[in-house]
Homo-oligomer: A and B are copies of this chain.
Amino acid sequence: MALTVVGSIAFDAVKTPFGERERMLGGAAVHFSLAASFFTEVRPVGPVGEDFGAEQFAVLENRGVLTDDVERVPGGQSFFWRGRYEYDLNVAHTEDTQLGVFGEFEPKLSEAARCADTLFLANIQPDLQRQVRAQCGAASFSGLDSMNLWIETAKDSLLAAIAEVDCLVVNDAEIRMLTGESNLARAARAVMELGPRAVVAKQGEYGAALFTEEGYFALPGFPLEDVRDPTGAGDSFAGGFFGYLDGLEGEVDDGELRRAMGYGTVLASFNVEEFGTERVSRLTREEIDERFEALRRMTQFESLPA
């Protein structure tokens, strides 16, 4: 199996009440790829500048991530984001965004990237998402993330992009904003009427909810006493979710979507324990499976022996 993801590959400057980093590896495609790398072969697609060097490539390659489709633009600067979180880590403030090479990104996928079984379109301009979707005709399962900016400025393109994927993965507030429907169950149904067979509503620390034709499933966020940096949590969730699904032998049924929600939750929880990619880049599959099992116990009506 093989998984292609298109999205930002970036440097982040992040300050939280628990520390700060002036320039660390980040971006949706990076967090997604590292999380997915525990389950399958993953190939991020996106541009970087000359400032993106061997050290950054090594973080990806040490986890087996295939970097052939990371396009290094001569003379360019990588996407840069600076943000700050309040003591309540749910409140984030963007202080600076420099698109750099991302401003002129035209996705050109390699043969290998185009042949992926699974495709994830991380949060980028929806017309670019559609271009990538069109190049990956073979993908049997595809997903898409977006943000309020595109709902406000490119809604028609975004609706067209959503219609072309199997699974929408966005924040619950964005599902409401997109559909103009404040009731989440109704909003999710409205999205499914556009095309997707599954809708995942990310709910920050409250976890995530899955809507499908077959029913509803929800998981709380994994309870942590130490959360240091929420940056990339949603992308790590998506990486665990789509990585697990791509790694499957059989088809993506409702039970597998539920387990994928579990792996997404687990990867997101590790991601936020430290800054940027620090925790996930030295994570083990054994740690993931232990936490997955702990999460399963936490959500069962019967308490199980430890």
Number of interface residues of A (CB under 8 A): 39
Bits for A161-194, please: 1 = Cβ < 8 Å to B, else 0: 0000000000000000000001111100100000
User: A258 within 8 Å of B by Cβ?
Assistant: yes
User: A94 within 8 Å of B by Cβ?
Assistant: no
Min C-beta distance of A99 to chain B, whole Å: 33
B215:A298 contact, CB within 8 angstroms: yes
Given the complex, which residues of B lie within 8 Å of A224, measured CB to CB?
Answer: 183, 185
- CA A216 to CA B220, docked complex, whole Å: 10
B186:A301 contact, CB within 8 angstroms: no
A209:B214 contact, CB within 8 angstroms: no
Given the complex, which residues of B lie within 8 Å of A205, measured CB to CB?
Answer: 184
User: A126 within 8 Å of B by Cβ?
Assistant: no
Min C-beta distance of A171 to chain B, whole Å: 13
A225 in complex: contacting residue of B89, B185, B299, CB < 8 Å? B185
Closest to A226 in B: B183
A303 in complex: contacting residue of B207, B209, B214, CB < 8 Å? B214
A218 in complex: contacting residue of B189, B207, B217, CB < 8 Å? B207
User: A227 within 8 Å of B by Cβ?
Assistant: yes
Chain copies in the assembled complex? 2
Chain A stretch 265-306: residues in CB contact (< 8 A) with chain B: 296-303
User: A57 within 8 Å of B by Cβ?
Assistant: no
Query: A182 with B215: in contact, given A301-B259, A301-B296, A303-B254 (CB under 8 Å)?
Result: no
B88:A303 contact, CB within 8 angstroms: no
A258 in complex: contacting residue of B89, B215, B302, CB < 8 Å? B302
User: A105 within 8 Å of B by Cβ?
Assistant: no
User: A103 within 8 Å of B by Cβ?
Assistant: no
Bits for A239-272, please: 1 = Cβ < 8 Å to B, else 0: 0000000000000011100110010000000000
A255:B302 contact, CB within 8 angstroms: yes
Closest to A255 in B: B303
B214:A223 contact, CB within 8 angstroms: no
A297:B225 contact, CB within 8 angstroms: no
User: A203 within 8 Å of B by Cβ?
Assistant: yes
Query: A215 with B303: in contact, given A89-B182, A186-B225, A203-B206 (CB under 8 Å)?
Result: yes
Given the complex, which residues of B lie within 8 Å of A203, measured CB to CB?
Answer: 206
Min C-beta distance of A244 to chain B, whole Å: 12
B223:A185 contact, CB within 8 angstroms: yes
B298:A299 contact, CB within 8 angstroms: no
Query: A209 with B182: in contact, given A262-B301, A301-B258 (CB under 8 Å)?
Result: no
- CA A171 to CA B160, docked complex, whole Å: 40
Q: 21 A-B pairs, CB-CB below 8 angstroms?
A: A88-B182, A89-B182, A183-B227, A185-B223, A185-B224, A186-B225, A206-B206, A209-B223, A216-B223, A217-B303, A218-B223, A218-B298, A220-B220, A253-B303, A254-B303, A255-B301, A255-B303, A258-B302, A259-B301, A262-B301, A299-B299
